[in-house]
Amino acid sequence: MLNIVLFGPPGAGKGTQSAKLIEKYNLVHLSTGDIFRANIKNETELGVLAKSFMDNGKLVPDEVTINMLAAELDNYKQPKGFIFDGFPRTSAQAEALDALLATKNTSITLMLALEVEEDELRKRLLLRGADSGRADDMNPEVIQKRIDEYNAKTLPVKEYYQSQLKFKGINGLGNIDDIFSFLCNEIGM
Ligand code: AMP
């Protein structure tokens, strides 16, 4: 199986590149942000809980997020592989993911990180908010909180994969197709 963690701060282009990668490699796309938003839309109990964190730019607690992801993984019986988009976002989530994949006799192949500087992220997120109406992209304070959460809790996940020699950083600034080619080169297929 080809299991990729697509990593990067909010606004780095994970969603855009995931869409291209799943098409090329026939992978299952698991975006925890998308799953939370679907739960919010359907007004589930999980959605109500997640919304109270998301509206403030904070991470949803690990236990809730990990349980949700574990249930999602079980929905796919013989996948070619997964793209994890927006997960893991903490070291505890990274450890849980390794354990979950081990129960399925597989593991993470590679972490691909889209690297974009903060000023550019702020600009991109505000533009996306204006286009999509996504509440957490429209408020500069919430955007800053998400970037701060990323720096404090998510960046250490990079070291987790570096120590497993699975980390590859890619410049996330530039043309979408060029960035996609760089990602494919790293995947090497
Ligand atoms: P995203 O669409 O990936 O930018 O995620 C939007 C929001 O959903 C984040 O700001 C978090 O509040 C929440 N979220 C998504 N994925 C996770 C995760 N792996 N752990 C905790 N919270 C998450």
Average pLDDT of adjacent 10-residue blocks, the chain of 189 residues: 97 96 97 97 97 97 98 94 98 98 97 97 95 92 96 97 98 97 95
- For residues 60 and 5, give the distance between their C-alpha atoms in angstroms, rounded to a whole number: 19
Ligand 1 centre from 35 Cα, in Å? Answer: 9
Contact at 8 Å (CB) between 60 and 53? Answer: yes
> What pLDDT is attached to residue 144?
95
User: With a 6 A CB cut-off, is 73 part of the ligand 1 pocket?
Assistant: no
Contact at 8 Å (CB) between 136 and 57? Answer: yes
Ligand 1 centre from 10 Cα, in Å? Answer: 9
**Domains present along the chain, CATH in parentheses:** 2-116+156-187 (3.40.50.300)
Ligand 1 centre from 178 Cα, in Å? Answer: 26
Question: In the chain, at which residue ranges do the beta strands (DSSP E only) sit?
Answer: 4-7, 28-31, 82-85, 110-115, 167-171
> What pLDDT is attached to residue 143?
95
- For the record, the structure tokens of 119 come out as 């000023």
Nearest CA to ligand 1 atom 15: 33
User: With a 6 A CB cut-off, is 36 part of the ligand 1 pocket?
Assistant: yes
Ligand 1 centre from 48 Cα, in Å? Answer: 14
User: With a 6 A CB cut-off, is 146 part of the ligand 1 pocket?
Assistant: yes
- For residues 28 and 44, give the distance between their C-alpha atoms in angstroms, rounded to a whole number: 23
Q: How many CA atoms lie within 13 A of 8 on its CB side?
A: 27
> What pLDDT is attached to residue 189?
82
> What pLDDT is attached to residue 7?
96
Record the pTM. 0.96
